[in-house]
């Protein structure tokens, strides 16, 4: 859910005309810093000796905004639409991941069927290949199921456990790791969303690094950067999904600057 909404040019102009001297139109466009500057200048209008200068500066700023406001509203709405698409994609991926997890749990609860000794199907063989497992000639459906269940933890499980400092015992299988992850999520429900958000931001973040004179950030350094921001920034990361337009850009800027501080060699 995105808390902000597209902005209306007429409303923005009305706020500028009637309340522009205290920066209400800036607050309306989520331009918090410029809005605060307007308020400070407005307060100086009541200070002796500088009131005339402050009033003149405020008048100039309002005149400039009269001409630039359409572009600012258009830019805000463009960013809003772009982030709507990003959040819808993230939500869809989360739903698919949860559905996949549910299906796998149901599969584990299924008892041994009569088809256990039947020859493995092409679909099972293709699935084995997609998991990086080797099919041996003559394997039955039961053999394939056993091989799948006995496979080692996958990349996503390892990354999840590493991110939250969860130890996977040596020799653990995929199902063991899945239980460890599920048990952790059951006790720390919001951390699943946090991990999905962190994964999603990484897909986008290297598109912005050049704006901050930063080299491409590797996944390992990115994860360590995020961990350095936690737990102080954990709430901010969790709120990222609900922050709307300002959430995406601000969070990426925060992470890139933190990465540059942690790894100075990333600076171009």
Q: Which residues contact 250 (CB under 8 A, 6 or more apart)?
A: 243
Contacts of residues 114-121 at CB distance under 8 Å and 24 or more positions apart, as own/partner, are 115/141, 116/140, 116/141, 116/142, 116/145, 117/141, 117/142, 120/144
Say what the pLDDT of residue 22 is.
94
Read off the tokens for 82.
């772009």
Q: What is the pLDDT of residue 4?
A: 65
Stretches in the chain below the pLDDT threshold 50: 1-3, 112, 241, 243-246
State the pLDDT at residue 3.
47
Joined tokens for residue 138: 């003559």
Residue 141: what pLDDT?
Answer: 78
- Identify the CA nearest to 45 among candidates 30, 55, 57, 58: 55
Q: State the pLDDT at residue 209.
A: 85
């Amino acid at each position: 859910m995105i808390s902000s909404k597209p902005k209306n040019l007429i409303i923005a102009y009305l706020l500028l005309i009637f309340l522009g001297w205290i920066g209400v139109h800036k607050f309306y466009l989520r331009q918090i810093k410029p809005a605060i500057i307007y308020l400070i200048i407005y307060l100086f209008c009541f200070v002796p000796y500088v009131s005339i200068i402050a009033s003149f500066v405020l008048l100039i700023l309002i005149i400039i905004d009269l001409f630039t406001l359409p572009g600012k509203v258009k830019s805000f709405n463009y960013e809003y639409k772009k982030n709507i698409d990003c959040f819808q994609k993230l939500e869809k991926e989360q739903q698919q991941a949860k559905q996949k997890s549910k299906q796998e749990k149901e599969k584990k609860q299924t008892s041994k069927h009569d088809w256990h000794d039947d020859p493995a199907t092409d679909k099972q063989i293709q699935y084995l290949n997609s998991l990086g497992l080797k099919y041996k000639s003559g394997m039955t459906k039961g053999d394939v199921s056993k091989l799948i269940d006995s496979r080692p933890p996958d990349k996503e499980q390892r990354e999840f456990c590493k991110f939250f400092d969860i130890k996977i015992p040596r020799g653990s299988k995929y199902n063991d790791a899945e239980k460890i992850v599920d048990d952790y999520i059951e006790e720390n429900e919001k951390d699943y969303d946090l991990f999905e958000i962190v994964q999603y931001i990484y897909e986008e973040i290297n598109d912005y690094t050049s704006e901050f004179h930063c080299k491409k950030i590797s996944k390992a350094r990115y994860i360590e950067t995020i961990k350095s921001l936690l737990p102080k920034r954990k709430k901010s990361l969790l709120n990222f999904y609900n922050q709307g337009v300002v959430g995406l850009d601000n969070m990426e800027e925060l992470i890139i600057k933190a990465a540059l501080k942690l790894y100075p060699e990333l600076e171009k």
